[in-house]
Amino acid sequence: MSEKVIDGKAVAEKIKDGLKADIEALAAKGVVPGLAAVLVGDDPASQIYVSNKAKACKKVGLYSEVIKRPADFTEKELIDLVEELNRRPEIHGILVQSPLPKHISEPDMVLKIDPAKDVDGFHPINMGKMLLGRPGFLPCTPLGIIRLLEEIGVNPQGKKVVILGRGNIVGKPLAAMLMQKWPGCNATVTVCHTGTADIAAETRRADIIIAAIGKPRFVTPDMIKDGVVIIDVGVNRVDDPAYEKGYYICGDVDFEGCLPRASRITPVPGGVGPMTIAMLMYNTVRAAKAITG
């Protein structure tokens, strides 16, 4: 069954290796692509994620700057920090890690990032370009999913894709991207959510299922057809005293149950996560090329 499991780490490494030529060309001009990650508060998952981003930057030869601020950092102070990063020429990409403390508005904060440095692809200008099918920065996780499908030889064109979840980070942008007449897209897309009357009826018709619903092991074997491709975006912490840490991590898909019926399936961890970081590197290099000419 191992040949069915999609190795997101290996694909991500291939993509990062593919950035070396651009990084070397920029270095010849005295430019090192620079990424600044701002972390406000002490959310454990965010700390791990930002740390992994910094390690990935160092490995591929990017400049990385992690800026940590306490949970009581004010919105005004954060705005001032982001505007300073907008002005710094050695910083080509900026991300403000979610979640932010409740007293800071995430949508408002995204608006403060220079769209030319918005390597997360969340600024309304970049989102608008995406909807219009125009060049811009695409959100890292949706872009990583499309690149992952491309690398394993699965073309969504003409296929029925069911996305579980309509969040702003994955579900909505991914649906908009897969509907475009782009290579590796041009699919018939259904988005399921809490208002969907019969989710299982939709998933059983799917050629490709992308689960980003935030519910542990939501997709079960009875909800899929034989030969389906399953991309599991979920990362759920489930408390269980039987485990040494008192919990375990699983996706939105019953991996063991669905594995026999699926033609390809991503594990959690090791599937989509590494692709998200790889696409962040990709967007940062693109930003450096565009900004420095």
The residues annotated as belonging to the active site are 53, 97, 120
Helices 8-17 and 272-292 pack at an angle, to 10 degrees, of 20
Q: Is the separation of the CB atoms in 62 and 35 below 8 Å?
A: yes
CA–CA distance, 261 with 228 (Å, rounded to integer): 7
Show Cβ contacts of residue 87 under 8 Å, excluding neighbours closer than 6 positions: none
In angstroms, the first-to-last Cα distance of the chain is: 47
3-state DSSP call for residue 189?
Answer: strand
Query: How are strands ordered across the β-sheet holding 93-96?
Result: 63-69, 34-40, 93-96
Chain-centroid distance of CA 30 in Å reads 30
CA–CA distance, 135 with 55 (Å, rounded to integer): 28
| Omega cis (within 30) before 89 | no
**Tokens coding 233:** 């975006």
CA–CA distance, 179 with 39 (Å, rounded to integer): 33
Burial class of residue 87, CB neighbours in 10 A (0-12, 13-18, 19+)? exposed
